[in-house]
Amino acid sequence: MCGIVGFIGKKQAAPIILDGLSKLEYRGYDSAGMAVFDGEKINVVKAAGKLKRLVELTHDGAEIKGFAGVGHTRWATHGQPTSENAHPHLNGKGTIAVVHNGIIENYISLKKMLTKKGYSFKSETDTEVIPNLLDYYYKGDPLEAIQKTLHRIEGSYSFGIIFADRPGELYAARKASPLICGKNDEGTFIASDVPALLKYTRRVYYIGEEEIARLTENSIEFFDVDASPIEKEEVEIKWDASAAEKSGYEHFMIKEIYEEPKTVKDTIRPRIKGNTVEIEELGMTDEEIKEVGGIFIVACGSAYHAGVTGKYVFEGMARIPVNVDIASEFRYRNPILNEKDLVIVISQSGETADTKEALRVAKQAGCKVLAIVNVVGSSIAREADKVMYTWAGPEISVATTKAYSAQLVALYLLAIKFAHVRGRITDDEMTSYIQDLKKLPDQIELLLGNREKIQHFANRYVAAKDVFFIGRGIDYAISLEGSLKLKEISYVHSEAYAAGELKHGTISLIEDGTLVVAVATQKDLLAKTVSNIVEVKSRGAFVLAVTNVGSTEVENVSDYVLFIPETNRYFANSLAIIPLQLFGYYVSVGRGYDVDHPRNLAKSVTVE
């Protein structure tokens, strides 16, 4: 969701805040603003639209002076994306400024209470109650006012706060929305995510649930919600700073697609020891693995699609029953869980609100929870029993690519481990799987070399109105993600269907010229998928097929074919998804859209 950056120190705050926000624009880009204390008063500049408008208004921050401030890029939840609704928000006297990521669920009742006490409001946002509530409680001690405010509000939040009469201090607090602190020789920082701080420091602190931070030029102190001091350990960020830059690529998305070979290699390599899979962070003995009765995979969006593939791989390879749930549905369907179930939650950011709540449901039921996440120290990583990191590095584009690929191979590794321990595959079979895994990075590299062919085809379908993706088994899981990639960045209406469901209604939508993307990598299902291709072609569809090298049956009935190298059937998604990611990317570019910042979407969904 929204991006927050704050700074207090020896340098002018505004340029640092703008620079940090530029690294977080993937979290929100419908408006931006910042508040800087100049020694006498808090100056606020806000603008609707992307961050560049704020940069222009302030001449790269040169027009707003001061050594302490907070900034914000917004993803609108309450109120239209206007300058009035943009953050920061102030109390009536202009002495308290607040930026906020999250949702204040009881803001209506708080607003009524404050209105009765003489407070007025200028925006449509839930956030504006916070500076006024802080003002109501403020008696000269910011920590006390923040503590009392946190006790009154319900919902999710991360706050950056400055008080005009405490010029040497910057405050932060969080619950269910990420926030970190950092420090260098020139000052201290707060930010929603690591990329904002990589230029300034690699040593950060993660603010925990319902914790408060007080920052000065030289120090960072932490307190719980009752204002009791907390000791906190520093975490070193090992990402290369260049990983959060475009490095000459036109968009982050294409850069991150090209990083997929390295991402897959980095996720696989630490878990392969000789001819065995060793997942040390799993922390489960062989006996515990053998006792697992069932697996629940819980996630949202692309991570959910990775989980659908995981279901086919786990059930086929390890013969363990697997349920795959959308996290928001898992929470409310009252799932039947027992202590022998393993719950795997998947989240790139480690902050996805619904996934985090699903994790808590699982833990309350007594299940062991394993998190597959990309961000070290994230909320889900801290709350899960065990964590398997994907080592994808920072992913800036809103549409995930490399993090999705890393999640896939993490699930493959887990399935191989479980299958071997439970006696479902032999030593030789495990060795064969490992050899195929090791080939994936080079095979992905090979597919990236065919981008011009995919770009040429995408240019033909820039004006497409409807696109349908079909597949069976794992190919259906691939279709789900391929369809999502296209719709989220190009705004083309796109749907994915299990190919066998075509005759149950969907085929009525096929007409002359309709593009159907048929994924056909599963050899045991090839004949049936070919029949489905023939069905849609007979209704006038133009068929783009993604299939294995040498698959003449598919080639003979399709209009355009993209081939993937031979691999184990369980790992086909890792290869077939590459041309589909590129297809979605090039359609979006051809339509002239902002690939990295698709409308109405944000990278990390930290509210329900």
> Which residues are bridge partners to 553 per DSSP?
none
CA distance 316 to 415: 9
CA distance 453 to 226: 61
Catalytic annotation on 356? no
Taking alpha carbons only, the member of 560, 533, 553, 555 closest to residue 468 is: 533
**Residue among 2, 181, 300, 367 flagged as catalytic:** 2
* Pair 93, 135: CB distance under 8 Å: yes
**Residue among 46, 356, 485, 603 flagged as catalytic:** 603
Non-local CB neighbours of 480 within 8 Å, separated by 6+ positions: 305, 308, 469, 496
Q: Compute and round to an integer the Cα radius of gyration of the chain.
A: 25
The SS3 of residue 236 is strand
CA distance 502 to 488: 23
* Pair 1, 602: CB distance under 8 Å: yes
CA distance 521 to 605: 32
CA distance 58 to 51: 11
Q: What is the 3-state secondary structure (H, E, C) of 82-129?
A: CCCCCCCEECCCCCEEEEEEEEECCHHHHHHHHHHCCCCCCCCCCCCH
Taking alpha carbons only, the member of 331, 320, 337, 332 closest to residue 418 is: 320
Taking alpha carbons only, the member of 19, 177, 21, 30 closest to residue 602 is: 30
Non-local CB neighbours of 582 within 8 Å, separated by 6+ positions: 257, 448, 451, 454, 455, 458
Catalytic annotation on 181? no
By CB neighbour count within 10 A (0-12 exposed, 13-18 middle, 19+ buried), where does 432 fall? Answer: middle
Give the C-alpha distances (Å, rounded to integers) separating 418 from 47, 106, 180, 385: 53, 45, 36, 18
| Token pair in block for residue 194 | 């690591």
Please state whether beta strands 493-498 and 466-471 pair in parallel, antiparallel, or not at all (unpaired).
parallel
The SS3 of residue 515 is strand
- Which residues are the active-site residues? 2, 603
